[in-house]
Amino acid sequence: MAEDDGWGILDEPLPPLETTVLPEPARSVITRNDSPDIPFEQSINPYRGCEHGCVYCFARPAHAYVNLSPGLDFETRLFFKQDAAARLREEIARPRYRCSPIALGTNTDPYQPIERRYRVTRGILELMLECDHPVSIVTKSALVLRDLDLLAELARRNLARVFLSVTTLDDDLKRRMEPRTASPRARLAAVRGLARAGVPVGVMYAPVIPAINDHELEAVVEAAAQAGAGSVDYILLRLPREVRDLFYEWLGTHFPDRVERVRTRIHELRGGRDNDPRFGSRMRGSGPWAELLRARLATARRRAGLPEGHWPPLDTSRFRAPQPAGGQLALW
């Protein structure tokens, strides 16, 4: 069966979309955090905005920082960090730099379609391999397989880990919810390709949306395990700021009979609110429904033969500071 990454789809028309892409110079590219419920200290977002068009994307409000809307502008007015690899080289070459894994794809997808042309993510991975720096990736795109040469070598040195986000196995729901992302089968094929190349790969079932896709949890876990994923985890729907209104508008258009049911369940998971930003509960929710999701995941993992714990940490001991651009050595 024909498969692709969701653009140039062979069996369905795409929604019309005209995008504008502009460079975004950056003095630094590494973002650091100390959030107790996020498993990384450093991240890089090669792009601002995302063509994928996922209605629930919690990164949408960030477009307001450049005076653009979190709605259509987020999907059509895109920015790429053209000098990301050069700035990263400078940052990790500094004597005070302390190596810890860098996460790609924490806000917008590092393999969204414009990566085919701009190759910002690939440039970062080339630098990671050059200096033996550990990296993790989260993506919805089968384009990640383009960089299998780099990822396989990084993985051989225990320096890379990839997670495919699989939100649904239903093509129709995917088209409504994530209109310009890879099909479910293409994502699972990417999992399979990474696993066969020896790259540790997991699946993020995210976001879990009550009364929309939460019934698929067990099926997603089983499909992920069969494709070769070494882990499956989930993140509950988050509705910060403008995302809330965009999501409920979408819900009323596509599932008008479920609006109140979904809203009620979200409030039950979020302490009576649409969004709960507190550490410890923002990713998983709280209350009986949250406990049920945790129990269902644990049971599904056991049935699929997947481990409960986390993978061992990526190797930071190999890191070697890169040479400055142009290859000039330091005097001291």
**pLDDT one-digit tens code per residue, 123-175:** 999 999 999 999 999 999 999 999 999 999 999 999 999 999 999 999 999 99
Any bridge partners for residue 135, and if so which? 102, 160
Query: Which has the closest alpha carbon to 274: 56, 52, 93?
Result: 56
- Between β-strands 160-165 and 135-139, what pairing exists: parallel, antiparallel or unpaired? parallel
Which tops the pLDDT comparison, 105 or 232? 232
Compute the average pLDDT of residues 41-46: 95
What's the confidence (pLDDT) of residue 168? Answer: 98
Banded model confidence at residue 206, pLDDT cuts 50, 70, 90: very high
Query: Please, what is the Cα angle at 263 between 262 and 269, to 5 degrees?
Result: 90
Separation between Cα atoms, residue 285 and residue 269, nearest integer Å:
5
Under the banding of pLDDT at 50, 70 and 90, the label for residue 106 is confident
Residue/partner pairs of 282-291 with CB below 8 Å, 24 or more apart: 282/37, 282/238, 283/37, 283/235, 283/236, 283/238, 284/235, 284/236, 285/236, 289/210, 289/265, 290/236
Q: What is the pTM of this model?
A: 0.91
Question: Six-digit token pair at 53?
Answer: 């068009």
Q: Are 218 and 296 in contact (CB under 8 A)?
A: yes
User: What confidence category does residue 107 fall into, taking pLDDT thresholds of 50, 70 and 90?
Assistant: confident
Cα–Cα distances in Å, from 141 out to 55, 65, 100, 149, 223? 17, 26, 25, 17, 17
Token pair belonging to 225 = 């395990």
**Mind listing the pLDDT tens digit for each residue in 220-238?**
999 999 999 999 999 999 9
Q: Rounded distance, CA 182 to CA 193, Å?
A: 15
List of domains in the chain: 23-233 (3.20.20.70)
